[in-house]
Amino acid sequence: MENRYDSIVVGAGTAGTYFAKLLAEQGYKVLVVDKSPKEKLGSRLDIFHIDKELFSKFGVPAPAPADEDYVCEFDFSISKSAFDRYPKRTLYPFVVMRLPLFLARLARWAESFGVEYAYNTEFDDFIYANGKIQGAKLRQGDKTLEIAARLVADASGIGSAVRRKLKEGYGVETFEIGPEDKFYVILRYVKLKNPESGRISYSTAWPFYKTWIAPQHDPDGAIIGVGANFSFDFAEEMYQKFTAQIPLPPHELQYVEKGTTPYRRPPYSFVADGFVVLGDSACITKPFSGEGITAAWELCAIAAEEFGKAMREGRYPDAASVWNTNVRYQRDQGAKFAYLLATLIGAVNSTAAENDYMFKKDIIFKEKDMTAMNRHFYVNLGFAGTVALVSKMAGGVITGNISLDTVRSMLRSVKYAGRLQKHYQNYPADMRAFAAWRQKADQLWSAAGTMADTIKR
């Protein structure tokens, strides 16, 4: 490790390594630091699913079946109602992979572009000069090192260790991602007792219980996952409700993994003078699934391009010179995610019977729309689609299958979701208009509420 780099990236996860590679490729000297030892990197999670189509979009080398991080692929997933009925197919391919092995392969790829790694190295604090970030203090055991850099990138995951250390008012929010702002996920790795009567070769989800069953590395096994706000205990309660209602294939528990994923709006700005926040620390996860890897690559790709331009010829990347990172992300994926996040706040209000009815009548859970949502994060209902949806909901109310309260809650969330989407699409190109934009965004989010509030009610 030297004592000066163009950029220090904190966190060697999927966000940090991808961003580091993109900067190094443009000729910058990049150091990635991670507090974890190299051999423990990514060990918090083994099996994960990733969008097959997005490797080529982001230029990340896809795993080949012979690679050790590759497990299998599936081309469609199924969603079922709260009473295990009306299966709907989402036609969208996923690759099943092993995270620690994927991270090791990604790091080798980044190293081939010149990225340096320092493991067992923890971010401690920023170094400021004239009020602007100019590097970082890092801890290695009981040693503290001061490393100069024009850019410090926070890719430290859900703990947001770097962003939270920013001086108040520096330009990026310093909030902690607390229990109401995340999903507590429990993964049970199980062995099927009668695999020959049906192996698990694709993912099946029950959105009402936020549970799913999916393949794992043992072809005779499966993962049964559940996610919920507030706590692991609450997720466990949800799992008990699920198993009381839904028959699972006979199985034996092998082991359990637990982790958390952000579920809240991201900071309004990702950039400040000599600083960018990425990945889980920036709360970039798909609102309908909690998956964060490829969602975060979108912001990484934009940020690497904008910082790459701003840092040419030794220039310092001040907030104004990289503001376009916010504009490009927030107007596009940011607006779509804001819409989905706000819509789902109302959608969690339904009862099991209402959920079953909505599956039956193709309300919300429509095959074509679920495929579009996975691929584009966007469902274009059009005029005819909207009329059909409203009339199906009205039919549900008239026949007593959906309560007026549920419809009101859904319409309310769709109303604020639409306003939020429009507001994000108008993210200000001029930094001077940001304070006013932010004030209105605060008002809209507080009117929309949160999923945690809806569940508590």
Which residues contact ligand FAD by CB under 6 A?
10-16, 33-36, 41, 45, 48-50, 122-123, 155-157, 159, 161, 185, 187, 257, 259-261, 279-280, 285, 291-293, 296
CB of 363 within 8 A of CB of 396? yes
User: CB 132 → ligand FAD: shortest distance, Å?
Assistant: 21
User: CB 299 → ligand FAD: shortest distance, Å?
Assistant: 10
User: CB 51 → ligand FAD: shortest distance, Å?
Assistant: 8
A 10 A CB-CB count for 446 gives 10
A 10 A CB-CB count for 25 gives 16
User: CB 151 → ligand FAD: shortest distance, Å?
Assistant: 16
User: CB 81 → ligand FAD: shortest distance, Å?
Assistant: 23
User: CB 34 → ligand FAD: shortest distance, Å?
Assistant: 4
The full DSSP string for 292-332 is -HHHHHHHHHHHHHHHHHHTGGG----HHHHTHHHHHHIII
Nearer to ligand FAD, 180 or 362 (CB): 180
Residue 201: partners with Cβ closer than 8 Å, 6 or more residues away: 72, 74, 215
Nearer to ligand FAD, 375 or 392 (CB): 375
Fill in the amino acid letter for 423: H
| CA 17 – CA 138 distance, rounded (Å) | 18
| CA 128 – CA 300 distance, rounded (Å) | 24
Nearer to ligand FAD, 224 or 272 (CB): 224
Nearer to ligand FAD, 11 or 63 (CB): 11
Return the H-helix or E-strand segment holding 376: helix 367-376
Q: Tell which residue, 16, 28, 25, has the closest CA to residue 162.
A: 16
Nearer to ligand FAD, 125 or 442 (CB): 125
The residue written with tokens 């003078």 in the block is 273
Fill in the amino acid letter for 348: V
Measure the CA angle with vertex 389, ends 387 and 392; round to 5°: 105
Nearer to ligand FAD, 182 or 423 (CB): 182
User: CB 38 → ligand FAD: shortest distance, Å?
Assistant: 10
Nearer to ligand FAD, 293 or 322 (CB): 293
